[in-house]
Amino acid sequence: MTRATGTYNITTLNEFIIERQADFPYAKGELSRLLHHVGVAAKVVNKKINKAGLVDILGRAGDVNVQGEDVQKLDLFANEHFIAALRSTGECCAIASEEDQEITVFDDGLPLDGKYVFCMDPLDGSSNIDVNVSVGTIFSIYRRRTERGTPADLSDFLQPGTEQVAAGYVIYGSSTMLVYTTGKGVNGFTLDPTIGEFCLSHPDIRTPEHGTIYSINEGNYAHFPAGVKQFIKHCQVVDPDTHRPYTSRYIGSLVSDVHRNLLKGGVFLYPSTQKAPQGKLRLLYECNPIAMIAEQAGGKASDGARRILEIPPEDLHQRVPFYVGSRQMVETVERCLAEAR
C-alpha cells in the first residue's frame, strides 16, 4: 500500500511492515509490533541527537562501560529509551546491550511471555557526537530458546547469527535512515521530518560485487596482521584494469562506514591488533546484525577465515576481527590473510 503525498507516493515503515507480515506466519504480528517500536525509539533518539548542541546531553556521563570505554550521556539516553520502548511491546522478554554487563530481563508482567530477545549497540560512534559526526544504532532480534512464560536467560542470546530473525541499524546523519532485513532482502527508510514517519526510500538494497573503497584506521598500520598490510598494499597499487588505487574512506563510526560501503561498494576492516588480539567489535550486537544485512544485500562478512554468522558465541560481549562489504573485496582480504599465515 502506498499513499499519495503531494506529487509522489510513499510507503511508511509501518505500512511496509504490515505488508510483509505474511512472510512470517509463525510471528502472528509480534515481530511487526517489535519492529514498529524500534522505529518509535529511533525517532525519540534522533530528536535528542538533533538538539544535542542546545541541551546538556553532550559529553561524558562519568562512567566506564563493560567495554572499558567512557560512557557518553547520549549512550545512556539511547540505551534507556530503547529499553523502555521494547519493554512496552510485550513481545520482547530480554535485552542485551553494549552498555550493560548483564542482560536485562523483563520479568515484571506480560513481557515474560515475549517471544523474542533483542541485542543492541544503542549508540554506535557516540564519542564522535561532540564533533557532529554521524552516529547510529545497531540491533539484532532472535527468537528465544527458553520456554515462554519463564524468565529469559543467557542461552537465549548465545545463538549464532544464522538464527537472527531480523537485524538492522539506524544512522543519524544529514538525514536519518533505518535499514533492516528480516531475511527477505534489505530495505532502507528515511525519516521525513514533515510527517514524522520513516518512509521507504531505498527498496531492495543490493551492494556491488566489487567496490573501490576500503575503510580501515590506517593509523594502526604497524599493529595490523601481515595479511591486512598486504591487502592495503594491494589497494594502493596502480592498475587501471581493476580501478586501483582504491579510495581510502574511514569515518570511525561503524554504522556510517558500513552504510556508505553498502550503497557504493567497498570493504570495511577492523582486524585483530597487538593490543586487541581478538579484535574490538562485538559479535552479538555489532558484527552479526551488520553481517546479516551485508549478506542479504549480496555482500559478505568474515573474521578473516570464517563466516561471521556461523561463529558460535561463547560470551555476551565476545569480540571478533571483522571484514564486511562487497563480496569480491572481502574474499581478497581472506586470501591475503591466508597467504600470510
Which residue numbers belong to the known binding site for substrate?
124-127, 217, 250, 280
Helix (H) and strand (E) counts in the chain: 7, 17
DSSP character at residue 286: I
Q: Dihedrals φ, ψ of 171, to 5°?
A: -115, 120
Contact of 331 with 273, CB cutoff 8 Å = no
| Binding site residue list | 98, 121, 123-127, 217, 250, 280, 286
Annotated binding-site positions for Mg(2+): 98, 121, 123-124, 286
C-alpha distances (whole Å) from 257 to each of 139, 206, 308 are: 16, 16, 18
Q: What is the bridge-based pairing of β-strands 104-105 and 116-124?
A: unpaired
CB 271 within 8 A of CB 228: yes
Which runs of consecutive H residues, i.e. helices, occur in the chain? 13-19, 30-50, 73-89, 226-236, 254-264, 288-296, 327-340
What DSSP string runs through 128-140?
GGGGT--EEEEEE
Nearest to 76, CA basis, from 65, 86, 85: 65
CA 132 to chain centroid: 20
Question: How many other CB atoms sit within 10 Å of the CB of residue 203?
Answer: 12
